Structure 1
């Protein structure tokens, strides 16, 4: 291990955390010197961290100018949220198939919106609760492969979620929607939980400024034979 490795890891973790939670927003130009000063390091470990983050798609490096935080594009946001919703709905359907008793038990295990109320529903707290809530919901579906895939999706999802909880009142809205989903699951009402979950994830599109009729689940017209109709 090279002497700079521990400090490079520290710089990497520092910058990555701020990229994921939105403290370094899309379009911002970061300087090696600025980040190094924040951490009390030399430029070298920060440069190594920037190179790793460029390889992961978070940064775009410009020699002698700095590192541009790559914004989340509308297409990326839509694709990530669509994948997330499909996974969560599958897990919810699997849970509902086990019956009302399993749904009640799962609802009791979900993080409660009230747990964050005393923290004034801050965006950071709402983001932490959102990750715990949705991850627990997918785990309740009982498919460990799906749960692992969902966890891997969160590094992309968290930047989108951070943007969606940053506006006035959005953090509180997010927590309130969690509470409604939880109550539908507790009541054993699978269709209501499904509808609320779909609205909840779809609302992120509006919160981050994706309007114009974008939907996560495209409507399907079914033929009389029970097959998707050609359009």
Structure 2
């Protein structure tokens, strides 16, 4: 399947923003992206309009395009929503007594990918697997509406995760250890225990933002 020029420009620029290669406050020109992707101005302009609608950049006649910083309030709001959705998901898994083998099988993929990414020093792959782990927990609840809302937060979660996990103050091993403990609590139908680990996990991230 061939993607359009506008989609290429959008995906390329968005990925750089989410990964922190383009930091909050950085100026970005359409001409720069045109040159890097060998595209004409029109599809890049369309991509910029789309990124502005998602509040990843700001457009103005004076400054052009500027990458929107992650507001502290937004970071707190995203983490609050994650907490609510995941805590509810853990409670539903416990209440429904989901088969521990099914829970383990569902979470094995993201955990294995994080193990491999950490061993290879691949932060990009680690962050993707990190987000997938939490999304899988919500999916295990069997609530498609919750899974949908969690998915709507994905871009903001990825950007936060890159900001936190590229900090020298937090080792990838700490995040992975939390995930293994969360998985164990979920298999044991221990929703309260899961909540305790989740509190620590999110508080650590909040403290680095």
CA deviation after TM superposition for structure 1 residue 156, in Å: 2.1
Aligned residue runs from structure 1 range 1-231, under 5 A: 6-63=4-61, 65-99=63-97, 102-110=99-107, 111-119=109-117, 120=119, 121-168=121-168, 169-208=170-209
CA deviation after TM superposition for structure 1 residue 65, in Å: 4.0
Greater displacement, 143-152 / 106-115: 106-115
Q: Secondary structure at the match of 1:61?
A: strand
In 1, Cα distance between the equivalents of 2:152 and 2:187? Answer: 28
Residues 108 and 186 in structure 1, CA contact (< 8 A), matched pair in contact too: no
CA deviation after TM superposition for structure 1 residue 114, in Å: 4.1
TM-score of the aligned structures, taking structure 2 as reference length: 0.88
Greater displacement, 158-167 / 106-115: 106-115
Unaligned runs of 5+ in 1: 209-231
In 2, Cα distance between the equivalents of 1:69 and 1:112? Answer: 30
| C-alpha distance 107-118 of structure 1, shift in aligned 2 (>3 A) | closer
Unaligned runs of 5+ in 2: none
| C-alpha distance 19-112 of structure 1, shift in aligned 2 (>3 A) | closer
Greater displacement, 15-24 / 50-59: 15-24
Residues 110 and 132 in structure 2, CA contact (< 8 A), matched pair in contact too: no
What per-residue deviation string (whole Å, max 9, x for no partner) do you get for residues 62-89 of structure 1? 3364310001111011011101110000
TM-score of the aligned structures, taking structure 1 as reference length: 0.80
- Indicate the structure with greater helix content: 2
Q: Secondary structure at the match of 2:65?
A: strand
Aligned residues: 203
Residues 111 and 133 in structure 2, CA contact (< 8 A), matched pair in contact too: no
Residues 7 and 45 in structure 1, CA contact (< 8 A), matched pair in contact too: yes
**Runs of 4 or more above 4 Å deviation:** none
What per-residue deviation string (whole Å, max 9, x for no partner) do you get for residues 48-71 of structure 1? 211221122111113364310001
Greater displacement, 72-81 / 192-201: 192-201
